[in-house]
Structure 1
Amino acid sequence: MQTQISCPNCGTPYVADIYQVIDVGREPQLKEMLLSGQLNFAVCPNCGAGGRIATPLLYHDQAHDLFMIHVPQEINLDHLRREELVGRLVQQAINQTPMEQRRGYMFQPQTMLTMQSFMEKVWGTEGVTPEMLARQQRQVELLRTLATASPDVQEFLIKDRRQDIDETFFSILRAQIDATSQMGDPNEVVGLLNLQAKLMTETEIGRQLEKQQIALGTLRREAKKAGGLSPELLAKHVIANDADESLVSALALTGQQALTYDFFARLTTEAERREKAGDKAGGQRLGRVRDQLLEMQREMQAAAQQVLQEAQSTLDAILAAPDVEQAVEQQLGRLDEAFMHVLEARLLHAEQSGRREELDKLALIQAVIISRIQGDTPPEIQLLTQLLGAPGKADRERVMAEAAEMISPELIEMVDLVREQAVGAGQGDLAERLVEIRAELNARLLVAGGD
């Protein structure tokens, strides 16, 4: 719910989204926000100071029979008021749960005395142990120190704490760059990007990740030049890097659509050629790579099928509901890309089959979802999304003309931040499109300024 708070730094009052009940079954996105540190995180619009808001949290995960509550000590509630608060939150969670899904444990929530123990329980449902969390906490603290340290101290810490700088550390760093970009602090973003570049060159894992980014960038450029990623092109890159298992996996994940019979046949042919040429070790190595990729493909297909089945079940539940808008609201956390794919397929099938009643209801569901998404997305992000989705320059010009009042230096700054993130993530094509869009926005801004 939206709550008015006052900035502890400058005293400015502002409204923030504060959640006290996290029902994973109804709103799984709240769990994702909690785990990423974004839940109940507020940023002052005046001075930019931000942090997590201390508030009671009731957590319900029916899949794991987990029902617990944490009331921060800093709220300073006496015993009576605390019991009243817990009772209100428990009742709210029970009221939101359909009668047939209510369980006895919901009337006696576990009490977590600290936020750390609360989060350990939540992470436990993801298979993350307290030991793993402790390591991640050390990595977060190391990142904070590196981000503000002098170059000499950075050099020392990178060598002394090299065992803590792994792929997880880089993931935390990228997440911090994204979060800082959204908070609108360009100087801090630049500092983090410079730190990332330094770690890429001065650590073993960084060099491996940089090698991976370069290889993936080369694959994307060649695919773009060829008009698409073919099984032949993907096989060429996998064969060239078959000694690097992590790089092969990254290439395969990038080119999932090219993992066809032709792709695997090319690996088999090359493995046989090597063995005939006397390179038995190389042939066997490539054979193992082929077998591992076949298994990975089977697992991805099974996972994709499961996702589509779940999306189908969600759509059927919404269709069966008497109130479509309310049903969409209840299922909002499950409405992902797979759901939209299933919805579009059902729309097409209903139209082709002449099932007018089903078609109308499906169209209503689509309209409600689009309206909700657009309502939750800032206008600047909506505009940038439209520009990125436009097929060509003429289409972008039309979009810019319709939104001329939104073109500002702040919008161009946002484009720069998104481009920096794309470069850091190895998304070369996206970065190139953003460069084009920036130039076109800047040209319009200069013309407007001249007028």
Structure 2
Amino acid sequence: MAKTQTMCPRCHQPALVDMRQLFDLNTDPQAKQILLSGNYNIVHCQNCGYQGAVPSPLVYHDPDKELLLTFFPPELGLPVNEQERMIGPIINQVVNALPLEKRKAYILRPQTMLTYQSMVEKILEGDGITKEMLDEQQKRVGLIQRLLTTSPDAIADVLKNEEPLIDAAFFSILNRLVEASLMQGDQRSARALAGVQKAALEETEFGRNLKKQAEETEAAVKSLQEASKQGLTREKLMELIITASSMTQVDTLVSMARAGLDYTFFEQLSTKINSTNGDEKKRLEDLRDHLLELTKEIDRVMQEEIANARALLDKILSETDIEKATEAGLDSMSDLFVELLRQEIQSARQLNDMVRLEKLQKIAGVIQKASAPPPEVQFIELLMSLEKPEERLKAMQENAALITPELVSLLNNIITQSEQQQNQPPEALEAIKNVYREVLKFSMEQNLKK
């Protein structure tokens, strides 16, 4: 992005902004996320402290969906011919970056979006997200905002009146808002949102069911962990499943221990069924039928995921630019893809297929780089691994450039999240608090020296 001089909307003094007008997925796989986030063309005025977006022409290009969209902010007040003059060179960048074989007819017919919102809706529509779906989401966001300004004694009444909106989407939005607040260091908003979440879990039917399912899932996980300490056998797994207090617990156990439900397991279960009678026999027969259907569905989904991982790997390997293709597919990669990649690398080595091995290693390199924690997180992990305060002080002195307000805020957020986790060991929480205090002290001393 080029540095562009503009005028601060508040004090009208010159200010610099990293101006971005082209969002091309052909050259930048993250372009869509950046555009939809709105985190671009932000001016930071050094004179008055103003921070806000600068209106600018925008061009969005997605070659896979054959989308070429343009938007010109009406507040710029320029005539159509002047708009075309400004947009034209940006579109030329799109065309020039495309290989000849990928220059299709849609490039000649860019779609003009009259509003920024219509551009966002068009982009999301390409992902299968309709305007109706966006409207439904906005209703839930509006309800959350309303609940945040409602007095505590009136929240239950609001939730009761708006109960049809309290569903999985509502809680998903709430969770994302809580996470975003914690990441930004806004603990006040995080606590307020957590209060809304608690009320929704207690005061609505969907919330109470969700809470109950979460508790049953947690109980199933704990029972499986306890059984695994002594070595998990088919007999122990069968006993856990048979004595589970709900189908939620049964489904959780099966999803976590699918490998244990093999032919021998069902053979042993059938033997147990044949040794019973009456209502208990009928219950176990129904349970067996459920387990068979559930394992069949799990296997189907697994095979589908494996096929998708294989298709993605083949697609990346067929591209000329392996690294670029890998970056474009990062969001679609799962643990299964990584495991498949590992197997393919091992196979290529055994077959001495150096050409394929080189391509596969390029993919692995991009994934490793993308999955590596940011330098700040790596530095926190380093500090946590050092036992003595003098060792941590030396590490901070050697990495003084990393001791920033953002690092202090990140440590504070980690402490807040750890305190909210009931199963967090006290010694681990105290250790991160010690690191936070030492980093804060070091930061303050550095500021005083400046």
Bucket of the pairwise TM-score, normalised by the shorter protein: 0.7 to 0.9
Counterpart in the other structure of 2:162: 161
1:189 is the counterpart of 2:211: no
Alpha-carbon deviation of 1:347?
3.4
Map 1:48-87 to 2 at 5 A: 55-87=56-88
Question: Distance between the aligned counterparts of 2:327 and 2:203, measured in 1?
Answer: 43
Question: Distance between the aligned counterparts of 1:294 and 1:181, measured in 2?
Answer: 38
Do the aligned partners of residues 294 and 175 (structure 1) sit closer, same or farther apart at CA in structure 2, a change above 3 Å counting? same
Alpha-carbon deviation of 1:158?
1.3
Do the aligned partners of residues 304 and 9 (structure 1) sit closer, same or farther apart at CA in structure 2, a change above 3 Å counting? farther
Question: Distance between the aligned counterparts of 1:333 and 1:114, measured in 2?
Answer: 27
Please say if residues 124 and 130 of structure 2, whose CA atoms lie closer than 8 Å, have aligned partners that are also in contact: yes
Please say if residues 271 and 284 of structure 1, whose CA atoms lie closer than 8 Å, have aligned partners that are also in contact: no
The 10-residue stretch of structure 1 (107-116 or 159-168) with the greater mean CA deviation from structure 2: 107-116
Question: Distance between the aligned counterparts of 1:257 and 1:48, measured in 2?
Answer: 57
Q: Paired residue for 2:345, among 344, 347, 365?
A: 347
Counterpart in the other structure of 2:324: 329
Map 1:422-441 to 2 at 5 A: 423=421, 432=424, 437-441=428-432
Deviations 1:221-268 (A, max 9, x none): 3344424887777766665668656x7666655x27547426972896
Q: Which runs of 5+ in 1 are unaligned?
A: none
Please say if residues 238 and 269 of structure 2, whose CA atoms lie closer than 8 Å, have aligned partners that are also in contact: no
**Amino acid in the other structure paired with 2:343:** A
- What secondary structure is seen at the aligned counterpart in 1 of 2:424? helix
Do the aligned partners of residues 77 and 381 (structure 1) sit closer, same or farther apart at CA in structure 2, a change above 3 Å counting? farther
Counterpart in the other structure of 2:135: 134
Alpha-carbon deviation of 1:289?
3.2
Map 1:286-365 to 2 at 5 A: 286=287, 289-317=290-318, 321=320, 327-335=322-330, 336-338=333-335, 339-354=337-352, 359=357, 362-363=360-361
Deviations 1:268-293 (A, max 9, x none): 64995799432687457535633542
Do the aligned partners of residues 283 and 44 (structure 1) sit closer, same or farther apart at CA in structure 2, a change above 3 Å counting? farther
RMSD value, Cα: 4.7
Do the aligned partners of residues 262 and 114 (structure 1) sit closer, same or farther apart at CA in structure 2, a change above 3 Å counting? farther
Question: Distance between the aligned counterparts of 2:382 and 2:364, measured in 1?
Answer: 18
Question: Distance between the aligned counterparts of 2:130 and 2:394, measured in 1?
Answer: 52
Do the aligned partners of residues 373 and 268 (structure 1) sit closer, same or farther apart at CA in structure 2, a change above 3 Å counting? closer
Question: Distance between the aligned counterparts of 1:281 and 1:131, measured in 2?
Answer: 46
Question: Distance between the aligned counterparts of 1:178 and 1:125, measured in 2?
Answer: 27
Question: Distance between the aligned counterparts of 2:75 and 2:268, measured in 1?
Answer: 61
Question: Distance between the aligned counterparts of 1:285 and 1:48, measured in 2?
Answer: 67
Please say if residues 19 and 39 of structure 1, whose CA atoms lie closer than 8 Å, have aligned partners that are also in contact: no
Question: Distance between the aligned counterparts of 1:354 and 1:198, measured in 2?
Answer: 61
Please say if residues 326 and 366 of structure 2, whose CA atoms lie closer than 8 Å, have aligned partners that are also in contact: no
Question: Distance between the aligned counterparts of 1:45 and 1:236, measured in 2?
Answer: 66
Counterpart in the other structure of 1:382: 378
The 10-residue stretch of structure 1 (6-15 or 402-411) with the greater mean CA deviation from structure 2: 6-15
Deviations 1:302-343 (A, max 9, x none): 33222321342245246xx4xxxx641353121344554444
**Amino acid in the other structure paired with 1:20:** L
Please say if residues 316 and 326 of structure 2, whose CA atoms lie closer than 8 Å, have aligned partners that are also in contact: no
**Amino acid in the other structure paired with 1:334:** G
Give the number of equivalent residue pairs.
427
Greater relative contact order structure (CA < 8 Å, 6+ sep): 1
**Amino acid in the other structure paired with 2:424:** E
Please say if residues 67 and 109 of structure 1, whose CA atoms lie closer than 8 Å, have aligned partners that are also in contact: yes
Do the aligned partners of residues 102 and 286 (structure 1) sit closer, same or farther apart at CA in structure 2, a change above 3 Å counting? farther
**Amino acid in the other structure paired with 2:123:** V
Question: Distance between the aligned counterparts of 1:45 and 1:264, measured in 2?
Answer: 68
Alpha-carbon deviation of 1:414?
3.0
- What secondary structure is seen at the aligned counterpart in 1 of 2:78? coil
Question: Distance between the aligned counterparts of 1:9 and 1:233, measured in 2?
Answer: 69
- What secondary structure is seen at the aligned counterpart in 2 of 1:331? helix
**Amino acid in the other structure paired with 1:305:** I
Counterpart in the other structure of 1:21: 23
Do the aligned partners of residues 156 and 367 (structure 1) sit closer, same or farther apart at CA in structure 2, a change above 3 Å counting? same
Question: Distance between the aligned counterparts of 2:30 and 2:152, measured in 1?
Answer: 39
Question: Distance between the aligned counterparts of 1:359 and 1:289, measured in 2?
Answer: 44
Deviations 1:363-390 (A, max 9, x none): 555446545665xx642233457799xx
- What secondary structure is seen at the aligned counterpart in 2 of 1:432? coil
Alpha-carbon deviation of 1:413?
0.7
Deviations 1:195-240 (A, max 9, x none): 2122222222222222222223223333444248877777666656
- Bigger radius of gyration: 2
Counterpart in the other structure of 2:413: 414
**Amino acid in the other structure paired with 1:379:** P
- What secondary structure is seen at the aligned counterpart in 1 of 2:138? helix
Question: Distance between the aligned counterparts of 2:238 and 2:8, measured in 1?
Answer: 56
Please say if residues 71 and 113 of structure 1, whose CA atoms lie closer than 8 Å, have aligned partners that are also in contact: yes
Please say if residues 55 and 73 of structure 2, whose CA atoms lie closer than 8 Å, have aligned partners that are also in contact: yes
The 10-residue stretch of structure 1 (343-352 or 379-388) with the greater mean CA deviation from structure 2: 379-388
What TM-score results when the alignment is normalised by the length of structure 2? 0.73
Question: Distance between the aligned counterparts of 1:310 and 1:157, measured in 2?
Answer: 48
Do the aligned partners of residues 446 and 133 (structure 1) sit closer, same or farther apart at CA in structure 2, a change above 3 Å counting? closer
Deviations 1:398-438 (A, max 9, x none): x96885456875443131244378x4xxxx7xx637x6544
Q: Which runs of 5+ in 2 are unaligned?
A: 446-450
Question: Distance between the aligned counterparts of 1:95 and 1:118, measured in 2?
Answer: 23
Please say if residues 328 and 365 of structure 1, whose CA atoms lie closer than 8 Å, have aligned partners that are also in contact: yes
Question: Distance between the aligned counterparts of 1:82 and 1:271, measured in 2?
Answer: 77
